[in-house]
A and B are shown apart, each in its own frame.
Chain A
Amino acid sequence: MTSFTIERIGEDAVSINGIDDATLALLHEVPSILHYRSHPSVSKRLFPDVKPGDEQVSEEFHEATDPDLEYLFASAEEILIRDLAGIRDGSIEIPDTHVRAWMSALNQARLILAELNQIDAADMGRGEFDPDEKKDLAVLKIHFFGFVLHLFIDL
């Protein structure tokens, strides 16, 4: 068994290795999770009001920035999907320019899972899980995507 690692190759590329079947399956879940971006509670989290209590300022800000955010989030998803399709023998090399997209997609997935399953700080701090429980499984996925995100941050 190889351990999951993310490391730099020179200045312009990053190598992701040790992607076993379970890890690959979880990574392939990310795009389907991201499809919930337009879910009302998720949308409120990813596109928050800029000035709660001031409807005019918040509305103007939404009009100005939401399309740009949607583009950023969707671009990250597309890059991740393309890269996932390129995984061979548990490894892939991605350009350094894709790292932000991976981090964005993974973090979006974490936040979306949390919103859809109403996960709070207490849930995140628990140490015991029942994988047959939908909410527990979501927490485990959030932790796993957090682990991968952590490896990217440490690059």
Chain B
Amino acid sequence: MPKRTFDCRNSTQPGIVHIDETDTEEKLDLPWNVVVHNDPINLMNYVTMVFQRVFGYPRQKATLLMMEVHTSGRSIVWSGAREQAEHYVHQLHGHQLLATLETSEP
């Protein structure tokens, strides 16, 4: 796995993380999934609001994903390139949601 470095120091805005790649030969990643896990404390409408803010999802889609988190215990709320997935997880952590990353199975 290539060495990756992150640097928040040059961030001009809270919540924005700059990621510098130190290895340009990184092969194409499998899609990275952003997973949100259920917790008994976060309000359901709070989670919906966060999905709308972070991903720009319309209310209906955000509500469906929130309900999946609530009923299934987790939901893949976004899939794609690693950098963007990391950015989203960082944003979700900023809103205190329990979010993790996982790679899609080939």
Contacts and interface: CB of A to CB of B under 8 A. Distances in A.
| Genuine A/B complex | yes
Contact of B17 (A45, A64, A75, A146): A64
A64 B6 contact: yes
Nearest to A68: B8
Given A111-B41, A114-B41, A68 B7 contact: no
B23 interface: no
A150 B15 CA distance: 23
B94 A72 contact: yes
Binding site of A, secondary structure by majority: helix, strand, loop or mixed?
A: helix
A120 interface: yes
Contacts of B14: 68, 71-72, 75
Interface in B36-62: 39-43, 45-46, 49
The size bracket of the interface on B is 20 to 34
A149 B17 contact: no
Contacts of B4: 60
14 contacts: A50-B100, A60-B6, A61-B86, A65-B93, A68-B11, A68-B90, A72-B15, A111-B42, A111-B96, A119-B41, A120-B40, A146-B43, A150-B43, A154-B45
Interface of A: 45-52, 56-57, 60-61, 63-65, 67-69, 71-72, 75, 103-104, 107-108, 110-111, 114, 119-121, 123-124, 142, 146, 149-150, 153-154
